Homo-oligomer: A and B are copies of this chain.
Amino acid sequence: MIGGSELERLLRGAALRVTRPRVAVLAAVRDHPHIDTESIIGVVRERVGAVSHQAVYDVLRVLTTAGLVRRIQPAGSVARYEARVGDNHHHVVCRSCGAIADVDCAVGFAPCLTAADDAGYTIDEAEVVYWGQCTDCARQGRTGPAAEQRTVHSHEQPT
């Protein structure tokens, strides 16, 4: 394995072995913000051919642990992954279709960690999820619960 792409450098930089499934998973997550596990599996298989779902789960776990990928799981939803890491951003989730979009932090890192009353806990992260309805569902008059779409929607890339 000589030289290599940016993704390979990212993996090596995180002291991870460079494998085809890993490169493919990382690429899939970078290309599709907030993508769910099953979709990743689909995209990876298109790129690399047969890859077991267990391998994908393992890769995602490793990438998440290494900080190359972030895992989010809004209530009632399967796990989703994004490549935007290391900044203090939040998410807005559509109650109807499950679409997710990034939202920048409004108050800044330090204030964000200051709860009115932290109950004695040592807080290290404030996760904010804004729940509402996306423009597509609003336009189509959808009021049902999240359909948990597993296809990649174009409106998941507004940021």
Residues on A facing B (Cβ under 8 Å): 71-76, 79, 90, 92, 94-95, 101-106, 113-135, 138, 158-159
Contacts and interface: CB of A to CB of B under 8 A. Distances in A.
B132 A129 contact: no
A129 B131 contact: no
B125 A128 contact: no
A112 to B, nearest CB: 9
Nearest to A126: B130
A74 B79 CA distance: 12
A126 B128 contact: yes
A94 B10 CA distance: 31
Q: With a 10 A CB-CB cut-off, give which of A94, A121, A134, A135 has the most chain B CB atoms.
A: A121
A135 B121 contact: yes
